[in-house]
A and B are shown apart, each in its own frame.
Chain A
Amino acid sequence: MSEKPKVAWYWCASCGGCEESFVDLAERLLKVFEAVDIVFCPVAMDFKREDVEKLPDGSITVALINGGIRLKEHEEMVKLLRKKSKIVIAYGACSAWGGIPGLANLYNLDEALERKYLEVPTIENPKEVLPTKKIIVNIPEAKMKAELELPEPLPVLLPLDKVIDVDYYIPGCPPTPDVFWNALQALLSGNLPPKGAIVGASNRSLCDECSLNETKPEKVLVKEFKRPDKAKPEPNKCLLAQGFLCMGPVTRGGCTALCIKGNMPCTGCFGLLDGIVDYGGKAISYFGSILDYSPVEDKEIKKAFDSIPDWVGTIYKYSLASAKLSHKAGAKKPKRIKEVVEI
């Protein structure tokens, strides 16, 4: 047995971007492989659940978990990894706060399934097949039946720390290679930050590292909210001061303002700063603060707010599942999930 720290990497409800960010470490990957042993990593290596179960408790040094907890399978796996690991890290926005898949919490499970499998314009599902716990497939050619068991969806998507104890968080959608690298360095150095810390990123909001911060006028006050698909930003001028809903001021820095360098306002994937309780709540209070209507004109203010069609998707894009109001109430027992379906 080598003395190198053991690392496990597991994926839950995610898009694959987090894994991509790992690959984006490029030549630095070699240094990672030099420094650690990877004992579990479904995206790249053929270890199975049984392999993890066989490991002694606490024998994994660090478990990196990305994606939100959407299925019973995710819940079981992360609980298993918690037991086997010294340190658990929520990797990326989905794992930390629910991420974009967490926006499904605006619907109860039945509505979400209907939307996903029946209503979405890109779906063709004439037999209206929905996920079921057990599916029996008749294969007439082979004169046999095959049984498939699917993991059951949870009523809502949960961020990792609602399911297991989380030691650290690495923010981002996905975390940038530099942020991941910084976090790795910090963790491997053995100089561990206090529990619950967000590692690898900044302690100030994005404005601190944004080159356009200097272009801000003395007072940031706007008469209307703009969207990048409807209006063209002027170059080299603070997007917020131009009226674009930039989440920069309310979002943790660390990404070096990559999106803004591409003339896109920040959408907030690095999440909230220390001491903030609810990301969207803070965001809406700050947007309310920069609207310049003196004397107050209700109609104009309403017009400005109505110009943004999806407020929840704007202010809770990455964090609805961890918000104070995190999901739609009611309908705990989904009706659309059948026990067995035979096709």
Chain B
Amino acid sequence: MTEEPRIGVYVCHCGFNIAGTVDVKKVAEFAKTLPNVVVAKDYVFMCSEPGQDLIKADIKAHNLNRVVVSACSPSLHEITFRTAVSEAGLNKYLLEMANIREHCSWVHHDKEKATEKAKEIVRMAVAKARHLEPLQELEVKAETSALVLGGGVAGMRAALELANYGFNVYLVEKAPTIGGKAALIGYVDPKTKGAEIVSKMFDRVKDCPRIQVLTNAELIQLSGFAGNYIAKVRLNPRYVNEKCTLCGECEEVCPIEVSNEYNFGLNKRKAIFLPFSNAYPPYYAIDYRVCVKCGECEKVCRFGAISLKEEPKVVDLKVGSIIIATGYDPYRPFKGEYGYGLHQNIMTLFQLERLLDPDSPTKGELIVGNKIPKSIAFIQCVGSRNTTPGAKEYCSRMCCTTAINSAVKIKEKYPDMNVYILYKDIMTYGSDETLYEEAGKKLVQFIKFEEKIPKVSITPEGLFIDVFEYTIQENLRIPVDAIVLSIGMLPPRDIEELIAVTRVSCGGEGFVREAHLKLAPVEAPTKGIFLAGCITGPKNILESIRMGSAAAAKAMSLLSKGKLTIEPMIAQVNEEKCSGCAICVGVCPYSAISIKKVNGDRIAYVEKALCMGCGTCNAACPSGAMQHLGFKDIQLLAQTRAVFGGEMNV
């Protein structure tokens, strides 16, 4: 911009938030001494209507062409002030925020020094503002269909919400059935099991023409950008089609037997199998990973439902938005952790839940080691809350309620059985507290341990648990017939592949991280990708369902417009300077940069809709050809020089 900068500086009191620690009047006076500053004022709440009007009036009265608002974090009110300056006829990117609240008044006590620091922050902002340029937003066309990854409760809920509002949804599930973990285990309320909720959701999904369910399917590549994603999905062969009547004859002749993951290893299943009785789609599937294609099932099937000739297929799905709801894995206790794997009567909570299911090998009877135990103990927090060296720090949220619910159900069925729950803290929060009370009434015995965890001994006389009971401060030795380990949640095993394909980012505990817990919940850092359910960390069934709805709502706000506005603060190539060295291509986390030929020269090309404005290419560019609009080298250098008290001119 050749026009001489005319800057207005507005220092906010934010009530006492800033003015309590920073002498705002002094800061405004100081701002007046800075080059190109035409007017500087302070006001009690800049973000209020009169505060904004003050700026608008000054833009007109003083013919301002740059505005510096010295107030809070730009993530809070930048949009407010951008709107204000644009209402006064100024390009909204000619605004610069100087954060003297979060970066200054909130973190200091000494008023004099805090005031000095606030001055420096304003000085930096003015230095940058002198180099600001007007920028224009861009619009691109957007697809109106969505891809939901993961067919558990969160994914199904998201798909149903989207479909109900008229959007087409591809529901992609890796397993041969949708339903996820909640179809197998889990508790919603004392009257409802996870499986019942799932079954109701199945009915809705079945009846919904806008949801296309793709089972045995995996996302293998993702290209494009928000509004215009192309998802490459591999459809692995199921070998069984909709003619299947669930007669089960094929299962009898199948020679391959593997551990049944749908019962968490409680029993075996065949290579051709039905995951669970009301699985959806409601027909058998052949596990393509273990099938040896002997052809026995094909021969025995009377309905022509099996074809071993089926090949894997890859389809390209054009979608505007993606919801990732690929869930979690149960914690895997190591061999010998509380005796796990050393005695057949020591099992996980997931296995117990399956055992109690009417669908189970014992038809729901609690039979371990061929008989009904006289006593059973649950050990809580296995794999959670730092109980053992391999355990995670977090609480897995669902294990307490699920274990107590199982304990109550056991007590109802076998009133004479001794049921113990060994716990660190009981996390039956909210309305689930009634379940805890119910367990007490049913005489489930609660035993609290602290840092010293219980010890399981396997002796010829049977199983024993040694525990220091914390409330009565006494060592106890409890003989039990069966032990249930209440295992927690882990990030899914294939999360690395998910990250590689979708470029979402990982949080500290290995789950996928939301862009911002308060300001951008449910959103992945990449625009157009949303997160639901346990992929972001442990949740119970209801929480997962709600998150599915939330993700769908966010996706809808993107899909409903059919077009997309692109932030102009992104990378821009100076074609006169670019040598096509391609360093930027390799560093871009969003695959937004490629090399193109322009008049015979190799030039880096930025796909604007893909660029998220992270600035990595800008830092890597060896020749200074790649610049980040809104954060150009010249702007940042001016700011840097200002902070060290240097010349304000670059």
Report A's interface with B, CB cutoff 8 A.
Answer: 203-208, 213-214, 216, 218-221, 240, 248-250, 253, 273-277, 282-283, 285-286, 289-290, 292
Chain B, residue nearest A294 (CB): B500
- Given A207-B581, A213-B581, A283-B622, are A219 and B586 also a contact pair (CB < 8 Å)? yes
Q: Are A213 and B620 in contact (CB under 8 A)?
A: no
Q: Are B623 and A205 in contact (CB under 8 A)?
A: yes
Given A205-B581, A249-B579, does the pair A221, B586 have CB atoms closer than 8 Å? Answer: yes
Between A and B, 5 residue pairs with Cβ closer than 8 Å are A220-B581, A220-B585, A249-B622, A250-B622, A289-B587
Q: Is the pair A218, B582 in contact by a Cβ cutoff of 8 Å?
A: yes
Docked Cα-Cα span, A35 to B579, in Å, equals 35
CB distance from A95 to the nearest CB of B (A): 23
In B592-633, the 8 Å CB interface with A consists of 594-595, 601-602, 616, 619-625, 633
Given that A218-B582, A220-B583, A274-B624 are contacting pairs, would A289 and B619 also be in contact in the complex, using a CB cutoff of 8 Å? yes
Interface residue ranges, B against A (CB under 8 Å): 576-583, 585-587, 594-595, 601-602, 616, 619-625, 633-634, 637
Query: With A and B bound together, what is the CA distance between A275 and B637 in angstroms?
Result: 10
Among A205, A221, A277, A292, point to the contact of B622 (Cβ < 8 A): A205
With a cutoff of 8 Å between Cβ atoms, the chain B residues found around residue A249 in the complex are: 579, 581, 583, 622-623
Chain B residues positioned under 8 Å from A248 (CB to CB): 581
Residue contact A290 to B580, C-beta cutoff 8 Å: no
Pick the most buried of A249, A250, A273: most chain B CB atoms within 10 A of its CB.
A249
Contacting residue for B576 out of A203, A250, A282, CB 8 A: A203
How far is the CB of B124 from the nearest CB of chain A, in Å? 17
CB of B152, distance to nearest CB on chain A (Å): 27
Whole-angstrom distance between the Cβ of A223 and the nearest chain B Cβ:
12
Which one of A205, A219, A275, A286 contacts B579 once the chains associate, using CB atoms below 8 Å?
A: A205
Taking CB as reference atom, which chain A residue is nearest B633? A275
Pick from A253, A282, A292 the residue with the most CB of B within 10 Å: A282
Roughly how many angstroms separate A219 CA and B576 CA in the complex, as a whole number?
22
Q: When the two chains form their complex, are residues A290 and B623 in contact, meaning their CB atoms are under 8 A apart?
A: no
Q: How far is the CA of A204 from the CA of B601 in the complex (A)?
A: 11
Which residues of chain A have C-beta atoms less than 8 A from B619's C-beta? 285, 289
- Identify which of B616, B621, B637 gathers the most chain A CB atoms within 10 Å of its CB: B621
> Closest 3 A-B residue pairs measured CB to CB?
A289-B620, A250-B622, A208-B579
Q: B583, A286: Cβ atoms under 8 Å? A: yes
Known A203-B576, A275-B633, A277-B637; judge A282-B622 contact (CB<8 A): yes
State A249–B626 Cα separation when bound (angstroms): 13
Closest to B584 in A: A289
8 Å CB contact of B577 from A203, A240, A277, A283: A203
Q: How far is the CB of B126 from chain A (nearest CB, A)?
A: 21
Question: A249-B622, A249-B623 in contact; A274/B577 too (CB < 8 A)?
Answer: yes
| Closest chain B CB from A32 CB (angstroms) | 31
> Which residues of A sit under 8 angstroms from B579, Cβ to Cβ?
204-208, 213, 249, 253
- With a 10 A CB-CB cut-off, give which of A204, A216, A283, A290 has the most chain B CB atoms: A204
Q: How far is the CA of A278 from the CA of B623 in the complex (A)?
A: 11
Q: Is the CB of A289 within 8 A of B602?
A: no
Q: Could you tell me the distance between the alpha carbons of A276 and B580 in the complex, rounded to whole angstroms? A: 17
**Measured CA separation A153–B599 after assembly (Å):** 52
Cα–Cα distance between A215 and B568 once the two chains are bound (Å): 33
B580 neighbours in A (Cβ, 8 Å): 207-208, 213
CB-contact partner of A285 in B578, B620, B633, under 8 A: B620
Q: Are B633 and A290 in contact (CB under 8 A)?
A: no
* Given A213-B581, A275-B624, A286-B622, A208-B601 contact (CB < 8 Å): yes
Q: How far is the CB of B375 from chain A (nearest CB, A)?
A: 46
In the assembled complex, the Cα of A206 lies from the Cα of B576 at a distance in Å of 13
Q: Is the CB of A214 within 8 A of B577?
A: no
Q: Look across to chain B and name the residue whose beta carbon is closest to the beta carbon of A253.
A: B579
Residue numbers in B under 8 Å from A282 (CB-CB): 622, 624
Q: How far is the CB of A310 from the nearest CB of chain B, in Å?
A: 20
CB distance from A306 to the nearest CB of B (A): 22
- Kindly list chain A residues whose C-beta atoms are within 8 Å of the C-beta of B637: 277
CA distance A240 to B578 in the complex (A): 17
B601, A290: Cβ atoms closer than 8 Å:
no
Residue in B585, B586, B601, B624 whose CB lies within 8 Å of A273: B624
Partner of B623, one of A273, A285, A289: A273
- Please report the C-alpha to C-alpha distance between residue A282 and residue B633 in the assembled complex, in whole angstroms: 12
What residues of chain B lie closer than 8 Å to A240, measured between beta carbons?
A: 581
CA distance A292 to B620 in the complex (A): 13
Alpha-carbon gap, A214 to B587, bound state (A): 19
Q: Which residues of A contact B602 (CB under 8 A)?
A: 207-208, 213-214
Cα of A240 to Cα of B582 in the assembled complex, Å: 11
Residues of B within 8 A of A253 (CB): 579
Q: Are A286 and B620 in contact (CB under 8 A)?
A: yes
B582 A219 Cβ-Cβ under 8 A: yes
Residues of chain A within 8 A of B624, CB atoms compared: 273-276, 282
Q: Residue among B577, B622, B637 with the most chain A CB within 10 A?
A: B622
Q: How far is the CA of A274 from the CA of B601 in the complex (A)?
A: 19
In the assembly, what is the distance between CA of A290 and CA of B505, in Å? 20
Residues of chain A within 8 A (CB-CB) of B623 are: 204-205, 249-250, 273, 276
* A205-B579 Cα distance, complex, nearest whole Å: 6
Residues of B within 8 A of A206 (CB): 579
Complex partner residue of B583 from A208, A214, A290, CB under 8 angstroms = A290
Q: Which residues of A contact B578 (CB under 8 A)?
A: 204
Which residue in chain A gives the minimum CB-CB distance to B496?
A295
Are the CB atoms of B620 and A220 closer together than 8 Å?
no
Tell me, in angstroms, the Cα distance from A205 to B604 when the chains sit together.
13
Task: Give complex CA distance A21, B258 in Å.
Answer: 78
CB within 8 Å for A290 and B586 given contacts A249-B623, A275-B633, A282-B622: yes
- With a cutoff of 8 Å between Cβ atoms, the chain B residues found around residue A276 in the complex are 623-624
Residues of A within 8 A of B585 (CB): 218-220
Q: Which residues of B contact A273 (CB under 8 A)?
A: 577, 623-624
The CA of A239 and the CA of B601, in the complex, are separated in Å by 20
Question: Once bound together, how far apart are the Cα atoms of A248 and B594, in whole Å?
Answer: 19
Closest chain-A Cβ to B643's Cβ sits at a distance in Å of 15
Interface centre among B578, B579, B624 (most CB of A within 10 A): B579
- What is the bound-complex CA distance between A260 and B251, given in angstroms? 67
In the complex, what residue of chain B is closest to A248 when comparing beta carbons? B581
Question: Which chain B positions have C-beta within 8 A of A218?
Answer: 582, 585, 594-595
Contacts of A283 in B (CB 8 A): 622
A250 to B420, CA, bound (A): 69
Separation of A331 and B594 alpha carbons in the complex (Å): 50
Whole-angstrom CA separation of A221 from B587 in the bound complex: 8
Name the B residues within 8 Å of A275 (CB-CB): 577, 624, 633-634
CB distance from A165 to the nearest CB of B (A): 17
B582 touches A216 (CB 8 A): yes
**Which residue in chain A gives the minimum CB-CB distance to B587?**
A289
Interchain CA distance A216-B623 in the complex, whole Å: 17
Q: Once bound together, how far apart are the Cα atoms of A12 and B257, in whole Å?
A: 85
Residue of chain B at shortest CB distance from A210: B579
Q: Which residues of B contact A221 (CB under 8 A)?
A: 586
Bound-complex Cα distance A286 to B585 (A): 12
